[in-house]
Amino acid sequence: MRRTDRLFELIQILRDGRLHRASELAEKLGVSVRTIWRDMATLMGSGLPLEGERGVGYILRAPITLPPMILTSAEMEALRLGVRLVAEGADPGLARAARTLASKIAAVTPATTEPEPDELFIYSGDETARAAPHLPLIRAAIREKHRLSISYIDIQNHESFRDIRPLQLEFWGRVWTLAAYCEAREDFRAFRVDRIVAVQDTGERFPEEPGRSLADYRARIEAELTVSPETRSSDPAGS
């Protein structure tokens, strides 16, 4: 039995909420007690609400509301690439989460010829490095619907100061962009995060207003793409 299949079977056994001794589990799965100990350490490290120790037994203290997933090789590759993409985005908080997720994935999947998790975490260029310090604050402002004050250098190298309503972050492989409603221009703008010189959370919550929301922004983009697919550049810069 592959290790991934064995871990899946262990979770199914433990879902009954009873105490199971390692020897009992080893007999059911046809493996050694030491193997069960290692598997239980892996499951505990993955974040499952599992308690127990050697010589006592193991019990799942809380129900698992979502069943464990068995992924195809293509799905696993998509998951690995997604984790890698998040890490290369250079948002420190998300990069740390991606590292943790990569370790959990590696712990419950068969060995591959793919690089070890640490080898996957590299910056993709100067753009991501310059964007990195601003990403946590921007993400928080989007969640909390807080206005931001930014100092921005446009593609002509002109600096401007804007009060904006941050709506959505997008990653384009090397470049992060921020879709926002610009209060000064009274219109939507896309800002390259690596061209933001400074950003400050005003602490002021902006209301959901018709014509200024993320849904309105997406509708605008959709309409422009319908008219002309060239209207939206693959490397947009705010103005």
Task: Kindly report, residue by residue over 30-70, the tens digit of the pLDDT.
Answer: 999 999 898 888 888 877 788 888 888 888 877 665 455 56
Side-chain-facing half-sphere of 102: CA atoms under 13 Å: 22
What value does the mean pLDDT take over residues 93-119?
62
What pLDDT sits at residue 201? 95
Burial (CB count within 10 angstroms: exposed 0-12, middle 13-18, buried 19+), residue 188: buried
The 10s digit of each residue's pLDDT in 115-131 is 444 433 334 456 777 88
DSSP lists the bridge partners of residue 51 as: 59
Q: 3-60 and 128-231 share one CATH topology?
A: no
Say whether pLDDT at 152 is over 70.
Answer: yes
Lowest mean pLDDT among 4-13, 100-109, 192-201: 100-109
Closest of 72, 73, 71, 52 to residue 61, by C-alpha:
52
- Domain made up of 128-231: CATH architecture: Roll (2.30)
Mean pLDDT of all residues belonging to the chain: 78
Please report where in the chains the tokens 């997604």 appear, as a residue.
82
CB 145 within 8 A of CB 158: no
Q: Which residue has the higher pLDDT, 41 or 85?
A: 41
SS3 123: coil
- For residue 131, the SS3 value is helix
Give the pLDDT of residue 17: 80
Angle between helices 33-45 and 22-29 (to 10 degrees): 110
Amino acid letter, residue 109? T
Amino acid at the residue 30: G
135 residue type, one letter: L
- Is it the case that residue 102 has pLDDT exceeding 90? no
The reported pLDDT for the residue numbered 173 is 66
**Measured between alpha carbons, how far is 183 from 186 in angstroms, rounded to an integer?**
5
Q: Which residue has the higher pLDDT, 162 or 170?
A: 162
Give residue 116's pLDDT: 43
CB atoms within 10 A of CB 104: 16
At residue 67's C-alpha, the angle toward residues 66 and 68, to 5°, is: 120
Closest CA to 103 of 89, 87, 122: 87
Give the highest mean pLDDT range of 60-69, 83-92, 215-224, 229-238.
215-224
CATH architecture of 3-60: Orthogonal Bundle (1.10)
Domain spans of the chain? 3-60, 73-122, 128-231
Confidence of residue 73 (pLDDT cuts 50, 70, 90): low
Q: Where are the alpha helices (DSSP H) in the chain?
A: 3-14, 22-29, 33-45, 73-88, 92-107, 126-131, 135-144, 214-227
